[in-house]
């Protein structure tokens, strides 16, 4: 995604650029991200909805954000926390799901239940940064196919590392 957005943000600079994008061309612009047809439809639809409902401005509430095409609780939490500095919830992506269970922070599989479990133990003013740090940890240290437990700074707290000391 970071590679794609580098080029994408040069080509499409305003909400109007996205709203008026040619869908087949836009699909090719984001093809390498996976699920590109659905993402393209949602991004273009979301931009059109922003213009129609919110005068082209991104709304600053969970209730309004989740009405936009392609925007669910996870994305709304990212937008609210990162763009508006509002900690409404914890972003629960595939890394957060996996690590929350491995580390022993939650026994749940459902993202909403994991989010509630994490919200009970992470101070509210840390919800956004916690999500970002856990995601980065999942990408760099606790990699799904080859976790680096010997290098992990939180291995003494991690249920998985404790049970797999030989890794």
Distant-in-sequence, close-in-space partners of 84: CB < 8 Å, separation ≥ 6: 60
* Rg of the chain in Å (alpha carbons): 18
Which residues are identified as catalytic? Answer: 74, 93
Distance of CA 151 to the CA centre of its chain: 25
Judge whether 9 and 30 are in contact, CB under 8 Å.
no
Half-sphere exposure of 92 (CA within 13 A, CB side): 23
């Amino acid at each position: 995604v970071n590679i794609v957005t580098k080029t994408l943000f040069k080509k499409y600079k305003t909400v109007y650029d996205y709203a008026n994008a040619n869908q087949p061309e836009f699909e090719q612009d984001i093809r390498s991200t996976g699920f590109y047809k659905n993402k393209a439809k949602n991004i273009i639809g979301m931009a059109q909805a922003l213009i129609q409902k919110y005068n082209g401005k991104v709304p600053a509430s969970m209730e309004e954000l989740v009405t936009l095409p392609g925007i669910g609780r996870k994305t709304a939490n990212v937008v609210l926390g990162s763009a508006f500095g509002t900690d409404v919830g914890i972003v629960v992506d595939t890394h957060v799901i996996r690590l929350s269970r491995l580390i022993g922070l939650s026994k749940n599989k459902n993202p909403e239940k994991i989010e509630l479990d994490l919200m009970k133990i992470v101070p509210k003013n840390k919800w956004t940064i916690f999500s970002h740090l856990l995601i980065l940890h999942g990408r760099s240290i606790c990699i799904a196919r080859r976790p680096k437990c010997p290098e992990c700074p939180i291995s003494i707290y991690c249920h998985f590392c404790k049970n797999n000391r030989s890794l």
